[in-house]
Amino acid sequence: MSNIRAGFSLLRAVYVLMREGVVTALPEEGAPPPVRIAKSVARLVERRRAKDQLQSENLSKALNRLGPSWVKLGQFLATRPDVVGASIALDLELLQDQMEPFGVDQAKQMVAATLGHPVEEMFSSFSPAIAAASVAQVHKATIDHEGDETGHYEVAVKVIRPGVRARFHRDLTTFYSAARLMEKYIESAQRLQPVLVVDMLAKSAKLEMDLRLEAAAFSEMGENTADDEGFRVPGVDWERTGRDCVTMDWVDGTKFTHVEELSAAGHDLAAIANALNQSFLRHVLRDGFFHADMHPGNLFVDQSSDIVAVDLGIAGRMGKAERRYLAEILYGFITRDYMRVAEVHFEAGYVPDHHDVASFAQAIRAIGEPIHGQEADKVSMARLLTLLFEVTELFDMKTQPQLLLLQKTMVVVEGVARKLDPKFNMWKSAEPVVAHYVQRLIGPLGKLEEARDGLHAVGRMVQLAPDMATRAEKLSHEIDEMSRNGVRLDKLTIEAIGKAEAQHSRSGRVALWVIALGVVALVWNHIV
């Protein structure tokens, strides 16, 4: 029953994408037969106005029509240009996550349930929603405080959308059905592992839908940036934070979306653009923890010209090794040391060692040289990353999931900075920060830190040695037993595997027929 329901849900999604002009905008070249057939059908049902709009606008409208889970899918796929392509990933990055707000009474009920106290006890005022997205919405509230001049201070309360977890869980069934069909019937999609992509989406969304984790992210970033100039995040009120709501300091400032207002207020836009880029790079290289959703709607400038970042539902992490490799790669591009950039790719294991380092350095040079000597407004990080994806694919470089979110955010930060300052040059801005951390990470201090980490690892190995020896002896006995008697499955296990395979095959066929018949019926009704 759930498979049939997923089939109908997938059918509706296909139809909405057709109506909003998304399917007809898919590229023809290299498209598999199902896509070409879908494009032909889509031309019959596409709205007239969809032809006159940008692809990004059509995509945004389609996903918002389909609901919160699909918006979240779009946002997630924006971080996977290896799956959807660089062009579509950029369109998805422009997706406006704007949903109809739910009522203030519902919000109060959610807050009271998660905090265990009525809203009136926790807040002296609580406004209707001032912003609503796919997962949550934000309310402005006040808290009585005798130490404040006004007797109270203002806070922002982010509240989870009612039923969003259950809705997302249901829609995941549809996403998995689509992913399995792609893997089974579209050969070119198999290398992209769409089922694994849905697995990653499910994990990401599960974390984002527990607002205690976002509160923890704010707390961690607040500690990391406490001594930084020009950047901060709002503080968290832990007493008024739970699974379904997070309460933060209210931000008095101007959004990055209002560039004219920022200029009229006397802010130095070029300095703010530079501060944004350098702050982001410090978070990545110094802290290994960065805000991964830095679009203009999540960034404010306060009266002191400090940048204030909100909405930390999506954050990224980088280990020490990845930070070192990243710093050296960026520094190599900045200093035009392409051989070192190539060597780092091999040292990190990103490129298989059967390839020639010098040949890879030549390919890297073809990417890096065009960015030097050009005017700032002609140097695009998005273009550079697109070329890097293409070149590394030629050298069998596998997708590095830990770098995808970083690369996506770098592109967004550059775009935001360039809206403030059209002459912004990301490379010149990055150079002092990257150079500092390259010297720190690979200089004498970095070597001492590596030695210290190595000693800790050795100490840990010594502690675990007795347990490891016991496990190794047990594994040796089990392998010896299997070599003599083979691997055996009991009768119940064999029967269960057979039933599962049969059910999976039937479900796939049923879903395909449901989708095919449904599309035909919808098109027929539309024509008639």
158 exposure class (CB count in 10 Å sphere: 0-12, 13-18, 19+): buried
* CA max distance for the chain: 82
Separation CA 333–CA 371 (nearest Å): 9
| Residue 288 Rama label (left phi>0; alpha psi -120 to 50; beta) | left
Q: Closest by alpha carbon to 195, among 83, 51, 320?
A: 83
Secondary structure class of 237 (helix, strand, coil): coil
**Backbone phi, then psi, for 246, in 5-degree steps?**
-135, 135
Q: Closest by alpha carbon to 58, among 16, 11, 98?
A: 16
Separation CA 164–CA 141 (nearest Å): 23
Confirm if 326 and 285 have CB atoms less than 8 A apart.
yes
| Tokens of residue 385, six digits | 């990353």
Separation CA 308–CA 68 (nearest Å): 26
Q: What is the DSSP string of 477-528?
A: HHHHHHHHH-----HHHHHHHHHHHHHHHHHHHHHHHHHHHHHHHHHHHHH-
Q: Is 467 assigned a catalytic role?
A: no
Separation CA 234–CA 217 (nearest Å): 11
Strands of the sheet with 254-255, listed across from one edge = 231-232, 307-309, 299-301, 254-255
At 331, the amino acid letter reads Y
At 341, the amino acid letter reads V
| Dihedral in degrees, nearest 10, Cα atoms 435, 436, 439, 440 | -150
Separation CA 435–CA 429 (nearest Å): 11
Separation CA 135–CA 304 (nearest Å): 31
Q: Which residues contact 152 (CB under 8 A, 6 or more apart)?
A: 124, 142, 143, 144, 145
Nearest-5° angle of CA 276, CA 282, CA 284? 105
Separation CA 137–CA 119 (nearest Å): 16
CB atoms within 10 A of CB 394: 11
| Tokens of residue 323, six digits | 């930070």
| Dihedral in degrees, nearest 10, Cα atoms 48, 52, 53, 55 | 90
| Tokens of residue 239, six digits | 């007493």
Q: Which of 82, 237, 244, 293 is catalytic?
A: 293
Confirm if 346 and 357 have CB atoms less than 8 A apart.
yes
Residues classed as catalytic: 293
